[in-house]
Chains A and B, each alone.
Chain A
Amino acid sequence: MDDFEARLKSVPLARPSDAMKKRIFGMGAGRSKFIEAFRVRVPLAWAALFALFAGLAGMYLSQWLKGPVPAPSKVVYVQIIKAPSDRNPFDFTEPAADFMPGELTGRIETPKEI
C-alpha cells in the first residue's frame, strides 16, 4: 500500500445505524447467552410427538383430578316376569312388612332411541 492508498484509507467511512442489528436480528439481538443456550433446533416429527404425548397426558391428568365420573342416568322400564308373591313388590303406596322375600326375576328393557 503506497502513501496515496494509505491517505485514501484514512477517510472515515459511513457506518450502519445502531438500530441495524436489532432490525436484522429482531428483539433477540441483545438476548442473553442463557436464553441463547436453550435455542436448540428440534426436528418437526419430535415436536409433533411431544405435543401428542403432552395432549394425552393432559387429558388423563384432568380425568384423574375430576375423579370417577357417574354413569349417565337413563329411564328404564322394568317388566316383572315372576314375582314371589301376588303383591306387586313395586307398589310403595303402603309400607311393606317384608321386602321381596325369595327370588325376583325380571327383564330390563331400555327405551329405543328416538
Chain B
Amino acid sequence: MRTLRREMEGIYDQYGSRLFTCALAVTGCPGLAEDAMHEAFCRGFRLTEIPRNLKAYMFRSVRNAAIDQLRQRRRTRNLSEDYVFASSEDPGELAELKQFRRRVAEALLKLSRDERETIVQHLYADLTFQEIADLRERSIGTIASWYRRGLGKLKDYMEV
C-alpha cells in the first residue's frame, strides 16, 4: 500500500537538495529556506490523498512556502551574500574558486527576481523550462526569455 508519508520521504531523498535550492532562490537565506521546506512538507502531510504528480506538487509547495516566509519576515531585500552557494569556510579551497563564487553570487543578486530565480531553478535545481513554466504558471516562452536574458546579463557582469 502506498502511503503519503513514504512517498514524501522518497521525494525528500531524491529531490531534497533541489527543493532546498529552489527555496533558497526565493529567500536567499538558508534558515528561511529550511523553514519553507519544513512548512511545505507539513502541508503535504495534511493532504487527504496523494497528488498525481507529487514531485511537481512539492516543488510548487516549497516555492509558495518560501514566498510566504519572505512575506512574514519582511526580508525581501535581505539576501545572503553567498545566495544559493555553499559558504566558503574551507581554508584549502582555491582562492580562484572562492573569487569566482563570490562574483557569481554578486552578479546573480543584480538580476531581477524572475531572472535570478529562473537561472537557479534551471541551472542549479535541474528543472526543465516546462517544469518551471508549470511551477510558476507562466508560458514556456516567458521562462526561456527570462533565462536567456538573465544569463546574458550575468555574462556581462562577470566580464566587467
Say yes or no: A13-B12 contact (C-beta < 8 A), given A24-B41, A36-B6: no
CB neighbours (8 Å) of B128 from chain A are none
Q: Is residue A54 within 8 Å, beta carbon to beta carbon, of the partner chain?
A: no
A-B contacts counted at CB < 8 A amount to 72
Q: Which of B16, B30, B87, B104 is within 8 Å of A8, CB to CB?
A: B104
In contact, B155 and A4 (Cβ under 8 angstroms): yes
Complex: how many Å from CA A23 to CA B12?
A: 12
In contact, A39 and B3 (Cβ under 8 angstroms): yes
CB neighbours (8 Å) of A71 from chain B are none
Complex: how many Å from CA A5 to CA B150?
A: 12
CB neighbours (8 Å) of A21 from chain B are 12, 16
In contact, A16 and B20 (Cβ under 8 angstroms): yes
A interface residue count range (under 10 / 10 to 19 / 20 to 34 / 35 or more)? 20 to 34
In contact, B34 and A20 (Cβ under 8 angstroms): yes
In contact, B86 and A15 (Cβ under 8 angstroms): yes
In contact, A14 and B155 (Cβ under 8 angstroms): no
* Number of interface residues, chain B, beta carbon within 8 A: 32
Within A1-60, the residues touching B (CB, 8 Å) are: 4-5, 7-9, 11-17, 20-21, 23-25, 29, 36, 39-41
CB neighbours (8 Å) of A36 from chain B are 6
Say yes or no: A23-B155 contact (C-beta < 8 A), given A13-B17, A16-B16: no
Q: Which of A12, A16, A25 is within 8 Å of B34, CB to CB?
A: A16
In contact, A8 and B123 (Cβ under 8 angstroms): yes
Say yes or no: A15-B20 contact (C-beta < 8 A), given A21-B12, A25-B12, A39-B3: yes
Nearest to B103 among chain A residues (CB) is A11
B78 to chain A, nearest CB (A): 16
Say yes or no: A24-B37 contact (C-beta < 8 A), given A11-B104, A13-B21, A41-B1: yes
Residues of A within 8 A of B (CB): 4-5, 7-9, 11-17, 20-21, 23-25, 29, 36, 39-41
Sample of 4 more A-B contacts, CB < 8 Å, known A20-B16, A23-B38 = A14-B21, A16-B16, A16-B33, A29-B9
Residues of B within 8 A of A (CB): 1, 3, 5-6, 9, 12, 16-17, 20-21, 24, 30, 33-34, 37-38, 41-42, 82, 84-87, 97, 100-101, 104, 123-124, 151, 154-155
Q: List 11 A-B contacts (CB under 8 A).
A: A11-B85, A12-B86, A14-B21, A17-B30, A17-B34, A20-B16, A21-B16, A24-B37, A25-B5, A29-B9, A41-B3
